[in-house]
Amino acid sequence: MAQALEIVPKQIDSDQWDEPYYVNMGPQHPATHGVLRIFLELDGETIVRCDPRIGYLHRGVEKLSENLTYSQAMVLTDRLDYIASAANNVGYCLAVEELMGLEVPRRAQIIRVIVCEMARIASHLLWLATHALDIGAMTVFLYCFRDREWLLDIFEEICGARLTVSYPRIGGVRLDFNQHIIDELYRFTEEFPRRIPEYETLIDVNRIWLKRTKGVGVISGEEAVNLGLTGPSLRGSGVRYDLRRSRPYLIYDELDFEVAVEYEGDVYSRYRVRMKEMREANKIIRQCLDKLAECEGEPTVAENAPDLLIPFGKPKRPQPAPHPKKGFLVKSVEVPIVPEGEVYFAIEAPKGELGYYIVSDGSGHPWRVRIRAPSFVHISALPALSEGQMVADIIAVIGSVDIVLGECDR
């Protein structure tokens, strides 16, 4: 047993130790945000080579979707970026709706924007908490969880689930908001802008925090685009690219919000971008709540939306011949139909551009679902961000690009 693991020194006679020092960080490691495994080659404390290895959380979401109906497959999208499951659901529903040519009622669109932005705040809060914990600031962690808890409680009241919400459905949303939820959200939007300065006073003016984040993991705008970074990680490098503005979906083009951009491209600017985004998301929720009051009582599901219980069918289903004596035993129901075709629909998820590419062959199941997950792309950018830095920096860098392995491995 001992021999299997024995390390054989190769250059025992030489004065200088030339053999590289390898550290296998993960897949069980407190700071790799899940089951990311990073293979590090070290020179002292400096990283010579960083080699991320993924696949420890692969559940085959894309393949499983092929054997489920469109409504069933939506439940799997909860498990992608489980921190912001509402945003994943909305993205998937929008893609399928585009394929079906379904028009979603306005009230449902507003509610979807609200849950998306709630998911964004919840995701950014969790990001801030864990990022600060990685750098060693323990207190921020629990402050953030306090407020995230509030959001999760609201989610629970909206749909009964806290983390994997599955709240939107194809053609709208599952349930309407009641008055208590709206009041609670108003209270949240009122209170939350006062909570953000609390985190900022804890870390923003802290010299150790600035030392650990400024000038670490720098990436230029051009390089970030080449690596395919999206979301806050891209905007931290000075590229003003936000799908909510550049390719608006839902009702984002009616809303007044700023796209947060910082220009340094280091860990600190990515942190600043996310802090700004939380404020903007709060503003968006506020505006949506006002808009929600205007369309009180309107439906939240499109009239021709597919029923959740009836399986999707083929476009031309041969009608069974009526029984000579009994006629039809069951009343025939209209089967929802997804026409042949393909669609790519991307939304601005909290972590970046989350795209769904769905190919339909006209049967009840998607022929292929491909998910463009931001975390997957961001992990591939880790070597560029961290090589030449210190061991402690890779932790800050992993935190700053905000990855969730559930989304990366799918």
Interface contacts to other proteins, rule CB under 8 A: 1-2, 5-7, 21-24, 29-31, 45, 132-139, 141-143, 146, 202-203, 206, 208-209, 211-212, 390-395
Q: Which is nearer to other proteins, 224 or 398 (CB)?
A: 398
CB of 298 to other proteins, least distance (A): 40
Residues 83 and 123: their CA atoms lie apart, in Å, by 5
Q: Which is nearer to other proteins, 44 or 297 (CB)?
A: 44
CB of 409 to other proteins, least distance (A): 22
Residues 288 and 282: their CA atoms lie apart, in Å, by 10
- Residue 43 structure tokens: 């020179």
CB of 77 to other proteins, least distance (A): 30
CB of 92 to other proteins, least distance (A): 34
Residues 288 and 294: their CA atoms lie apart, in Å, by 10
Q: Which is nearer to other proteins, 30 or 322 (CB)?
A: 30
Q: Which is nearer to other proteins, 120 or 212 (CB)?
A: 212
Selection from 13, 9, 26 nearest residue 408 by Cα: 26
Q: What is the per-residue DSSP string for 285-315? A: HHHHHHHHHHTTT--SB-TTPPPSSSPPB-S
CB of 216 to other proteins, least distance (A): 9
- Sequence-distant (≥ 6) Cβ neighbours of residue 93 within 8 angstroms: 74, 112, 168, 169, 170, 171
CB of 217 to other proteins, least distance (A): 12
Across the beta sheet with 37-43, the strand order is 21-25, 37-43, 46-53
Q: Which is nearer to other proteins, 50 or 94 (CB)?
A: 50
Identify whether the C-beta of residue 73 lies closer than 8 Å to the C-beta of residue 311.
Answer: no
Q: Which is nearer to other proteins, 137 or 288 (CB)?
A: 137
